[in-house]
Amino acid sequence: MHPRQVEMRDRYFADIDFGAGRVLEVGCGTGAVTDALAARTDVSTAIGVDPSPHFIELARARDTNATFELGDACALDHDDDSFDVVVFHTVLCHLPDPDTAIAEAVRVVHPGGQVAIFDGDYCSTTLSLSPDDPLAPCAREYMAANCHDLWFMRTCPCRLRNAGLEIVSSLLHGFTDPDYFLPFAERAVDLYHALGNATDEEARALRDEVARRYRAGEFYGHMLYASHIGQKAA
């Protein structure tokens, strides 16, 4: 619900042709994006699918017009050509086999329908103020621990074309906010330490440097996102 995250989401939503408005979000988590889809006037049906029973339970507890189901991105329990749009919102970078998930999305979207992907260009995530900034390896290790493929969005257009889709929109979305990235930096330092890459003393110095920069107004964090929308041949 961060305002910039909402802005980025709505910006790529604006490039989607929702057609008759039957939309499937794959990897819906607790349902926030599916809810945003369900609230649109050009969406008639919004279904969220996730493999986590806990997330689906939380999603179903929301006050929403959306429907939530347990499901596997690589084996969707839906008929061929049954949706106007399939959305992957910060999902595919976490999957070991994103191409199978894309193929499933292409299967369930009808001819002329669209597959929309929004994810981070996580290999470019940074806390750095200089080329040899000591926080740089902390950010790299933290992102590597949380994503299967940090470079996924750079190969995504090619993957969509290989799946038979025509790219109709590609956008970059920058995101920076000191208050958002402060806990990110703190967790990154903790993980870097836990992995044995820093001594106790070095970890304390890194945490102190994060706090010093924040207090001095010098703290910086940036994450680049991208969106790609592909259309199935009519």
- Measured in whole angstroms, how far is the alpha carbon of residue 196 from the centre of its chain? 29
Beta-carbon contacts of residue 98 (< 8 Å; ≥ 6 apart): 92, 149, 152, 159
222: β partners:
126
Residue 16: is its pLDDT beyond 90? yes
Rounded Cα gap, residues 19 and 197, in angstroms: 51
> Over 90: is that where the pLDDT of 63 sits?
no
Banded model confidence at residue 183, pLDDT cuts 50, 70, 90? very high
Phi, psi (degrees; rounded to nearest 5) at 51: -80, -10
Q: Which helix (H) or strand (E) holds 36?
A: helix 32-38
How high is the pLDDT of residue 162? 98
Closest CA to 17 of 80, 85, 107: 85
- CB-based contact 168:114 (threshold 8 Å): yes
pLDDT digits (tens, 9 = 90+) for 131-166: 999 999 999 999 999 999 999 999 999 999 999 999
**Is residue 108 within 8 Å of residue 82, measured between CB atoms?**
yes
Separation between Cα atoms, residue 131 and residue 121, nearest integer Å:
19
Determine contact, residues 13/43, Cβ cutoff 8 Å: no
pLDDT at position 224 over 90? yes
When computed from its CA atoms, the radius of gyration of the chain, rounded to whole angstroms, is 19
pLDDT at residue 60 tops 90: yes
Q: What is the pLDDT of residue 1?
A: 80
Amino acid identity of residue 117, one-letter, is I
Q: The tokens 């910039």 sit on which residue?
A: 4
Instruction: Give the model confidence (pLDDT) of 67-125 as tens digits.
Output: 999 999 999 999 999 999 999 999 999 999 999 999 999 999 999 999 999 999 999 99
DSSP three-state, residue 37: helix
Checking DSSP bridges between strand 165-175 and strand 223-232, what pairing results, if any?
antiparallel
pTM across the whole model: 0.94
The DSSP element (H or E) to which 62 belongs, if any, is none
State how far the alpha carbon of 174 is from the alpha carbons of 53, 87, 149, in Å: 32, 20, 19
DSSP string, 105-167: HHHHEEEEEEEEEEEE-GGG-B--SSTT-TTHHHHHHHHHHH-S-TTHHHHHHHHHHHTTEEE
pLDDT of residue 28 exceeding 90, the answer is: yes
